[in-house]
Amino acid sequence: MVIALITLAIMMIGAVAAMRSMNASLVNAGNLGFKRDMANQAERAIRAAMSALNTSSADLTASQTALNYSAAMLPTSVESIPTALLGTAPSTVGGYGVASNVIDLSTSTATASSTSAAAAVPLNLKLYYVVDRLCQSAGEMSSDTCLTSSSLTQGGKKVGGLTEESKPVYRVTVRVDGPRDAQSFYQATFSN
């Protein structure tokens, strides 16, 4: 009888340990899901910023607050995140942008399909973004003061020995505020 009680106690301790391990695994899986969703939603802000710059007729040699755009490289933290996006709620994006460019998904809903009907799930996300030209100062682009990109000729010779035109590189930085006070930053560079 004593051996049976000891065996039951050991089995109960093992069951409790297994349940705790399973709960920790579920929490970690949920956190990974939140992180992946935040990364996917950050693509919205990157696309919005890139299309705003590509379709704008604004002069990109000067900062454009309506586009959340700075013609000069923004001051950054040690992690290379523009300080305009740091803080509690950068609705004006540190003076480089406007609140209307904040993508607020906290009231939007995503539909999840189920067997009977679609259920609405709040996204609880806010996306803040800034775009800066990787130049030391605003004004005309110079390869001496700006990070530039040029397309390389793929095979063959250049026609007439012409050099390719250098283009400035732009950096899009997105801050995503998510559920459970989660916060993530994403960056992409492009030239147009």
Task: Encode pLDDT of 59-76 as tens digits.
Answer: 888 888 888 888 899 989
When pLDDT is averaged across residues 119-144 and rounded to a whole number, the result is 81
Strands 126-133 and 69-70: parallel
- Burial annotation 160-177 (CB, 10 A radius, 16+ → b, else e): eeeeeebebbbbbbbbbb
When pLDDT is averaged across residues 5-21 and rounded to a whole number, the result is 89
Alpha-carbon gap, residue 14 to 11, rounded angstroms: 5
How confident is the model over 152-181, as pLDDT tens digits?
555 555 555 555 677 889 999 999 888 778
Q: What is the pLDDT of residue 66?
A: 84
Give 88's pLDDT tier (boundaries 50, 70, 90): confident
Q: What is the pLDDT of residue 103?
A: 80
Token pair of 1, please? Answer: 């009888």
For the chain, which residues make up each domain, given as ranges?
2-190
Residues 6+ apart with CB under 8 A from 98: 65, 66, 68, 92
Question: To 10 degrees, the CA torsion angle through 7, 8, 12, 13?
Answer: -30
Alpha-carbon gap, residue 24 to 40, rounded angstroms: 24
When pLDDT is averaged across residues 33-45 and rounded to a whole number, the result is 84
Q: Is the pLDDT of residue 119 over 60?
A: no
Residue listed under structure tokens 């100062």: 137
How far is residue 35 CA from its own chain's centroid?
Answer: 11
Q: What is the pLDDT of residue 117?
A: 44
Give 109's pLDDT tier (boundaries 50, 70, 90): low
Question: Rounded mean pLDDT of the chain?
Answer: 79
Token pair of 31, please? Answer: 């956190």
When pLDDT is averaged across residues 82-104 and rounded to a whole number, the result is 76
What separation in angstroms does the CA of 85 have from each of 48, 171, 172?
17, 13, 11
Residue listed under structure tokens 């990157």: 46
This prediction's pTM: 0.71
Alpha-carbon gap, residue 59 to 62, rounded angstroms: 6
% the chain with pLDDT above 70? 80
Mean pLDDT is lowest, of 7-21, 50-64, 104-118, for 104-118
